[in-house]
Amino acid sequence: MPVPDAVATTEGLKRVRASVRGAVQGVGFRPFVFRLAMELGLRGWVSNSPQGVLLEAEGKPRAVEHFLVRLDLEKPLRSFIQSLECWHLDPVGYTEFEIRPSETGGEKIALVLPDIATCDQCLSEVSDPANRRYGYPFTNCTNCGPRFSIIESLPYDRANTTMRRFEMCAQCRAEYQDPQDRRFHAEPIACPACGPHLTLWDSWGRVLTQRGDALQEAAEAVRQGKILALKGLGGFQLVVHAANEATVLALRQRKRRAEKPFALMYPSLESVREACEVCEVERRLLCSPESPIVLLRRRRASSVASAVAPRNPYLGIMLPYTPLHHLLMRELRFPVVATSGNVSDEPICTDEREALDRLHGIADVFLVHNRPIARHVDDSIVRVMLGRELVIRRARGYAPLPVFVKEPLPSLLAVGGHMKNAIAASVGRMVLVSQHIGDLETAQAYEAFRRVVASFRHLYCLEPAAIACDMHPDYLSTRFAHQDGLPVKPVQHHHAHVLACMAENDLEGDVLGVSWDGVGYGSDGTIWGGEFLRVAGPTFERVACLRPFRLPGGEKAVKEPRRTALGLLYEAFGDGLFSMSGLAPLRAFSPGALPVLQAMLSRGLNAPLTSSAGRLFDAVAAVLGLRQVCQFEGQAAMELEFALDGVVTDESYPFRTRAEGKPWVLDWEPAVREILADVQGGLAVGTIAARFHNTLVEMIAAVAGLEQQERIVLTGGCFQNRYLTERAVARLRADGFRPYWHQRIPPNDGGIPLGQIIAASRGGK
């Protein structure tokens, strides 16, 4: 492996870049960072930036980790961190730590802050009977409260937020105008005398009670096992008692959500620790201004109903992040399910009248208020992998913060993909990435998408020169791009994945991208998803892929791993497959259905070819008898990952690499034959699952060895899988490669719009 000179001096070092926003200027923040860095033996720099403080720290990995934790814990008294974004980057070999002059001449565009979780000071006011904001659910200050979810246009003044309808009372106005006050120019400032208030409705929208009583009665309803629709920060949530099995099941039934795990809200960090293992990074995330849902490994004895997350070793947990949530949880003192207020995959409701209509028949009572929500913002989801955060759903707390790139970009709009849609826009050196919008499967989701595009354009006064979209001609987002009248730049899906991961890791030049997901439209018109792309400048070359197989029934196969399994096995065994005995996916069909499938496969009718890694996961999950029909996207792959929980093995299955002409083909057939033998032999499912994962890692290592490209980018929905990602990273490092993976932009299709912007700006496809 060729190793550039710089690496010799940076061996074993780690570098992070952090952008700290909030009250961090003029409060001794830079000297504090300097002292902390010196104490920990770190090198790098710190400077003021138009958005707050920007810093880089480089040193021993443990010292860097301590630095990040202490940055938050020991910050100067008068400082407040509204958002701390950090990126792990390649070390560069700094020789000292310095306070650099302020960064000036940055982008003049005003940044919109995300919504910020309630600060400690506001919380103590809300808890203080002597304070005029005692028990007031809309308390906020300059350091915390709603932002993105209430802004209608810039500049960020009260008149441009949904708070404009509330006339400030004399006391609030005095605070707002006093430069010494914590609420000096806190645009959403409010109090019980002048601000929004709560109302409790029955399921027909009849007023039951108001203000403090409304909160009490809503809590009582939850205690009694009712389903509460709560108008939260960026939309409605459905709240139920998490330990009440019958209620959780009723919620599943009414919401038409069979098995997809529900998110939970816990009353306190201590209560989370009782239910789950919480490492230091996870603790920081739970208590951060972003306050996302964190996927935590559950302890064996947890008190939540089994219907919350069936057969799932993880729970998605968040802590209260608005005064309203704090007050409700303080009243309840037990964990609740807090899931998005919608029916199955529709977008989250934001308006109470709309909620009454759409959530009728789901919720028993509605706790609403009269502060309008300007745009929907879901709860974000984060998972810790390899000791750092990986954002899986990017919304509240993160959106619409930009990703910075090295060179100014032309003004572009990117409309994303189809699943887990989000959009992005470039302004100077920034790529602004929208909140998670969702799968564009329903008319409502498409409407939400159009609204986000329109509001993004309006908010930032965008005048894009072109629109980037997916190559798939039939995606609604692609069609939208074509209707707009601007030049359209189609971008290959897996190329976009790689570019997104490169952008957030600050990578330029050539890389080998491992772009693995469920489905993406390939340059050759087939369905890709197990791709190895060499990305160089504006172009890419498909250097390798998984051996393609057919998906009988096309779209249907995505929801039915049993179909995918038959497609995979047909590729290996032909018609002989249908006389194999004891195959779980065969038994999952009625005998009458099999001839139809056989005909599809033998004639290749309605059975498109795919090289998808996600589908390979599905097929193996079906062969192992884990999952024949999915209730939600990615379920089979997820269950395959969970199956190996606790199994420790380095064993893997054989595979063939056909490296005659490019793309090289990674042939899974030898592995599948051994998996079948192991199933027949009664080997534990977990062991087979672990060996299968290890095989995929070996495939990545094999292509890396053939391609000899030092930098390897792991991207696509498959890399939400912790075992696969951690194992691939370790394996590649052992072979002398440098692996990169996602951080604050999702590896799934939520990262696509960022990649589309980069691709379109380079003019390649």
User: Which residues would be at the binding site for Fe ion (CB under 5 A)?
Assistant: 517, 520, 749
Find tokens 């955060």 and name the residue.
Answer: 389
Per rule CB under 5 A, is residue 405 in the interface with Zn ion? Answer: no
Q: Which of the choices Zn ion, Fe ion, none does residue 141 contact, using the CB cut-off of 5 to 8 A by kind?
A: Zn ion
Strands 228-231 and 314-318: unpaired
For Zn ion, give the closer residue by CB, 27 or 99: 27
For Zn ion, give the closer residue by CB, 139 or 515: 139
Per rule CB under 5 A, is residue 141 in the interface with Zn ion? Answer: yes
Size of interface with Zn ion, in residues (CB under 5 A): 10
CB of 517 to Fe ion, least distance (A): 3
> For Zn ion, which residue of 51, 82, 143, 435 counts as binding (CB under 5 A)?
143
Indicate the residue whose CB is closest to Fe ion. Answer: 517
Instruction: Give the three-class secondary structure for 210.
Output: strand
User: Is the CB of residue 381 less than 8 Å from the CB of residue 391?
Assistant: yes
Cα distances (angstroms) measured from residue 36 to each of 73, 91, 281, 460: 12, 19, 19, 37
Q: Which of the choices Zn ion, Fe ion, none does residue 561 contact, using the CB cut-off of 5 to 8 A by kind?
A: none
| DSSP secondary structure string for all residues of 749-764 | GGGHHHHHHHHHHHT-
Per rule CB under 5 A, is residue 221 in the interface with Zn ion? Answer: no
Strands 14-23 and 263-265: unpaired
Alpha-carbon span 720 to 234, nearest angstrom: 25
Tell me which DSSP letter residue 274 carries.
H
For Zn ion, give the closer residue by CB, 396 or 550: 396
Within 13 A of 46's CA, how many CA atoms are on the CB side?
A: 22
For Fe ion, give the closer residue by CB, 431 or 752: 752
> For Zn ion, which residue of 99, 109, 169, 594 counts as binding (CB under 5 A)?
169
Write phi, then psi, for 244 (nearest 5 degrees). -90, 100
User: Is the CB of residue 453 less than 8 Å from the CB of residue 476?
Assistant: no
Cis peptide before 595 (omega within 30 of 0): no
CB of 520 to Zn ion, least distance (A): 43
Lookup: tokens for 657: 């690499």
User: Is the CB of residue 29 less than 8 Å from the CB of residue 75?
Assistant: yes
For Zn ion, give the closer residue by CB, 141 or 337: 141
Instruction: Give the three-class secondary structure for 382.
Output: strand
CB of 173 to Zn ion, least distance (A): 8
Nearest to 85 by CA among 418, 411, 458, 397: 397
Applying CB under 5 A, the span of 186-194, 355-363, 589-597, 641-649 interacting with Zn ion comes to 186-194
CB of 431 to Zn ion, least distance (A): 30
Burial class (CB in 10 A: 0-12, 13-18, 19+), 574: exposed
Restricting to residues 513-572, which ones interact with Zn ion according to CB under 5 A?
A: none
Q: Which of the choices Zn ion, Fe ion, none does residue 712 contact, using the CB cut-off of 5 to 8 A by kind?
A: none
CB of 716 to Fe ion, least distance (A): 5
Per rule CB under 5 A, is residue 123 in the interface with Zn ion? Answer: no
For Zn ion, give the closer residue by CB, 138 or 446: 138
For Fe ion, give the closer residue by CB, 22 or 520: 520
Restricting to residues 714-733, which ones interact with Zn ion according to CB under 5 A?
A: none
CB of 516 to Fe ion, least distance (A): 9
User: Is the CB of residue 259 less than 8 Å from the CB of residue 397?
Assistant: no
Q: Which of the choices Zn ion, Fe ion, none does residue 27 contact, using the CB cut-off of 5 to 8 A by kind?
A: none
CB of 82 to Zn ion, least distance (A): 10
Per rule CB under 5 A, is residue 174 in the interface with Zn ion? Answer: no
Instruction: Give the three-class secondary structure for 281.
Output: helix
Per rule CB under 5 A, is residue 229 in the interface with Zn ion? Answer: no
For Fe ion, give the closer residue by CB, 517 or 667: 517
For Zn ion, give the closer residue by CB, 137 or 746: 137
Q: Which residues contact 277 (CB under 8 A, 6 or more apart)?
A: 296, 297, 298, 299
Tell me which DSSP letter residue 115 carries.
P
Find tokens 């809503």 and name the residue.
Answer: 218
CB of 719 to Fe ion, least distance (A): 10
Amino acid at 440: L
Q: Which of the choices Fe ion, Zn ion, none does residue 194 contact, using the CB cut-off of 5 to 8 A by kind?
A: Zn ion
CB of 115 to Zn ion, least distance (A): 12
Bridge partners for 57 per DSSP? 16, 44
For Zn ion, give the closer residue by CB, 119 or 415: 119
Strand order in the sheet with 80-89: 80-89, 14-23, 52-59, 43-49, 97-99
Lookup: tokens for 542: 């498909």
Q: Which of the choices Fe ion, Zn ion, none does residue 7 contact, using the CB cut-off of 5 to 8 A by kind?
A: none
Q: Which of the choices Fe ion, Zn ion, none does residue 143 contact, using the CB cut-off of 5 to 8 A by kind?
A: Zn ion
CB of 260 to Fe ion, least distance (A): 19
Alpha-carbon span 393 to 41, nearest angstrom: 35
> For Zn ion, which residue of 92, 154, 194, 465 counts as binding (CB under 5 A)?
194
Per rule CB under 5 A, is residue 469 in the interface with Zn ion? Answer: no
Q: Which of the choices Zn ion, Fe ion, none does residue 612 contact, using the CB cut-off of 5 to 8 A by kind?
A: none
Per rule CB under 5 A, is residue 172 in the interface with Zn ion? Answer: yes
CB of 326 to Zn ion, least distance (A): 12
Per rule CB under 5 A, is residue 144 in the interface with Zn ion? Answer: yes
What phi-psi label fits residue 552: left (phi over 0), alpha (psi between -120 and 50 degrees) or beta?
A: beta
For Zn ion, give the closer residue by CB, 189 or 626: 189
Applying CB under 5 A, the span of 167-175, 553-561, 575-583, 602-610 interacting with Zn ion comes to 167-175
CB of 505 to Fe ion, least distance (A): 18
CB of 749 to Fe ion, least distance (A): 4
Alpha helices by DSSP H, 74-198: 120-126, 170-177
Lookup: tokens for 606: 């309605």
CB of 37 to Fe ion, least distance (A): 39
For Fe ion, give the closer residue by CB, 335 or 717: 717
Alpha-carbon span 723 to 8, nearest angstrom: 30
CB of 724 to Fe ion, least distance (A): 15
Site track 83-122 with Zn ion (rule: CB under 5 A), x = hit: ------------------------------------x--x
Within 13 A of 406's CA, how many CA atoms are on the CB side?
A: 7
Alpha-carbon span 632 to 609, nearest angstrom: 22
Q: Which of the choices Fe ion, Zn ion, none does residue 517 contact, using the CB cut-off of 5 to 8 A by kind?
A: Fe ion
Q: Which of the choices Zn ion, Fe ion, none does residue 749 contact, using the CB cut-off of 5 to 8 A by kind?
A: Fe ion
Bridge partners for 469 per DSSP? 490
Per rule CB under 5 A, is residue 191 in the interface with Zn ion? Answer: yes
Alpha-carbon span 478 to 489, nearest angstrom: 10
For Zn ion, give the closer residue by CB, 322 or 743: 322
CB of 751 to Fe ion, least distance (A): 8
For Zn ion, give the closer residue by CB, 165 or 482: 165
CB of 641 to Zn ion, least distance (A): 39
Lookup: tokens for 368: 């609403």
Q: Which of the choices Fe ion, Zn ion, none does residue 169 contact, using the CB cut-off of 5 to 8 A by kind?
A: Zn ion
CA 421 to chain CA centroid, nearest Å = 11
| DSSP secondary structure string for all residues of 651-720 | -----EEE-SSSSEEEE-HHHHHHHHHHHHTT--HHHHHHHHHHHHHHHHHHHHHHH--SEEEEESGGGG
Cα distances (angstroms) measured from residue 353 to each of 232, 238, 697: 14, 16, 50
Which chain residues interact with Zn ion by CB under 5 A? 119, 122, 141, 143-144, 169, 172, 191, 193-194
